[in-house]
Amino acid sequence: AAAGAAAMAEGEGLISVDYEVSGRVQGVFFRKYTQGEAKRLGLVGWVQNTSHGTVQGRAQGPADRVRELQEWLRKVGSPQSRISRAEFTNEKKITELEHQDFQILK
């Protein structure tokens, strides 16, 4: 397992993906929960509200962990949220993480 972790740290299988979630996702602590879930999965990136009522952001990390967050953004969200759609764009392989942690942007 230690060897696997070392390989991961060297950027094997890291991906970056942008997301936008529509539905009842503002004013329901969606960003806070997204940040919590991303940190639990060990991902970096950001999340913010948009002016048109959606939540958008970027997630980076090991591909399988990013997939877990995508599934969470599609189906779970924060307790009070109602997700109608989650779109994922600009998915790409990256050699290193471009963010230090997972932040909520204003």
Summarised one tens digit per residue, pLDDT across range 36-87 is 999 999 999 999 999 999 999 999 999 999 999 999 999 999 999 999 999 9
Q: What is the pLDDT of residues 89-102, one digit of tens each?
A: 999 999 999 999 99
Burial of 88 (0-12, 13-18, 19+ CB in 10 A): middle
Beta strand pairing status for 102-104 and 82-94? unpaired
Based on C-alpha coordinates, what's the Rg of the chain? Answer: 14
Please, which residues have CB within 8 angstroms of residue 37's CB and are 6 or more apart in sequence?
A: 69, 72, 76
Residue 74 catalytic?
Answer: no
24, 40, 49, 90: which one is catalytic? 49
Domains and CATH numbers, the chain: 14-104 (3.30.70.100)
- pTM of the model as a whole: 0.88
Residue 82 catalytic?
Answer: no
Please, which residues have CB within 8 angstroms of residue 86's CB and are 6 or more apart in sequence?
A: 19, 20, 21, 22, 70, 73, 74
31, 65, 74, 90: which one is catalytic? 31
